[in-house]
Amino acid sequence: MKYISEFRRQDLAKLLAQTIAQTVDPKHHYRLMEFCGGHTHAIFRYGVQDLMPSNVEFIHGPGCPVCVLPIGRIDNAIQLVERHDVILCTYADLMRVPATGRTNLLKAKAAGGDIRMVYSTQDVLKIARDNPHRQVVFFAIGFETTTPASAVAIKVAQAEGLTNFSVFCNHVLTPSAMQAILDAPEPVAIDAFLGPSHVSSVIGSKPYETFADHYAKPIVIAGFEPLDVMQSALMLIRQINEGRHEVENEYSRAVTRDGNLKAQGLVNEVFERRPQFEWRGLGLIPNSALKLKAEYAAFDAERRFEMPAIQASEVKGCECPAILRGAKKPKDCKLLGTVCTPENPMGSCMVSSEGACAAYWSYGRLRENN
């Protein structure tokens, strides 16, 4: 399988593991935060942690857009369906994320709400065209990776004069979350970051340079295959050993320093930053999310419909918030594997295909020392 099998070769994995073992300083405990859930799943699925020396620790970060969405925003979406009779469209991962009262979008759909799973924003536009007498709302989530597609959909809707299409915008920004983790009142001990690869293919590696300079944290933009993760860990360990703190790009087959300028232009044309936005586990973070600019207000669901801010509580005992900021690991949650399973998730970390708890449940729960 070209471009995948090359990054899963067992012989190269053994060689990298040997090189890492020879490179680490036995007196140092290396704490490497993988920001993106894709890295978390690669680490669990391919047993990357088992190939590391005992003093190299992966700390799971908040990099899953479904996981970091606060419960109140899901409550907002359900109210849209119940109170305004809209057709709500969203990606599948969101359907089972618990909302207030142990409900979710899937249960709201079962109760009669017109909630539809889509694969792309083009699906949403088609639904709007096919239902000219119904309001169609796209429940948009994601980091910088999915935001350009939402921008394109809004511009297409404007060009076609679609008056029944709007976007409930929940797009968030990666660098702001990284800063919030480093500026936290009780920060988690982190030596370096595995930088998100897909996000960086859009924004480039340049936005991370300030973290390397100001916070003295090495960052390596890492691909999602097991050899990508191992090679990136080696690059970080070398930086730490040498006292360097730079942004290096292991995922050079897709990421440049400046990123995708066309996509950035589209996003900047349609969206602007919110003064602040709530992240699950991280709280209110300034300038960390996007909203539609005034010239696109006609496609903004938050302006078209009444959508009050909702403060919701986590399920008692669920450790998702602490897991998302790296303060705890899935094995530290007493609900995991007892009442919280993929069939009956208590928190977003178990629902999302990129969630740390889902990764632990699928690949790591039977390991004794995970």
CB of 228 within 8 A of CB of 170?
A: no
CB proximity list for 43: less than 8 A, separation 6 or greater:
34, 49, 58, 229, 359
Model pLDDT, residue 370: 46
Q: How many CA atoms lie within 13 Å of 109's alpha carbon, on the beta-carbon side? A: 15
CB of 167 within 8 A of CB of 301?
A: yes
Average pLDDT of adjacent 10-residue blocks, the chain of 370 residues: 84 97 97 93 93 96 88 95 95 90 93 96 98 97 96 98 98 94 90 95 96 95 96 98 97 96 98 95 94 98 92 86 91 92 88 87 69
Model pLDDT, residue 202: 97
* 120 CB neighbour count, 10 Å cutoff: 12
Burial (CB count <10 Å: 0-12, 13-18, 19+), residue 308: exposed
Question: How many angstroms from the chain centroid is the CA of residue 149?
Answer: 16
Strands 165-171, 136-142: parallel, antiparallel or unpaired by DSSP?
parallel
Backbone angles phi, psi at 28, to 5 degrees: -110, 140
Q: For residues 141 and 69, give the distance between their C-alpha atoms in angstroms, rounded to a whole number.
A: 8
Task: Give the residue carrying structure tokens 């109140």.
Answer: 72
CB of 211 within 8 A of CB of 182?
A: yes
**pLDDT tens digits, 336-365:** 989 999 888 888 899 887 889 999 998 876
Model pLDDT, residue 357: 93
Helix residue ranges per DSSP H, the chain: 10-23, 37-45, 71-84, 105-110, 121-130, 147-160, 174-183, 197-203, 209-214, 226-242, 261-270, 301-304, 320-324, 348-351, 356-359
Backbone angles phi, psi at 367, to 5 degrees: -80, 140
Model pLDDT, residue 204: 97
* CA distances, 362 to each of 124, 214, 300, 344, 350 (Å): 31, 37, 38, 14, 10
Q: Residue type for 8, please?
A: R
Q: For residues 255 and 238, give the distance between their C-alpha atoms in angstroms, rounded to a whole number.
A: 21
**pLDDT tens digits, 92-108:** 889 988 899 889 999 99
Q: How many residues does the chain have?
A: 370
CB of 164 within 8 A of CB of 132?
A: yes
* CA distances, 346 to each of 24, 108, 228 (Å): 38, 17, 32
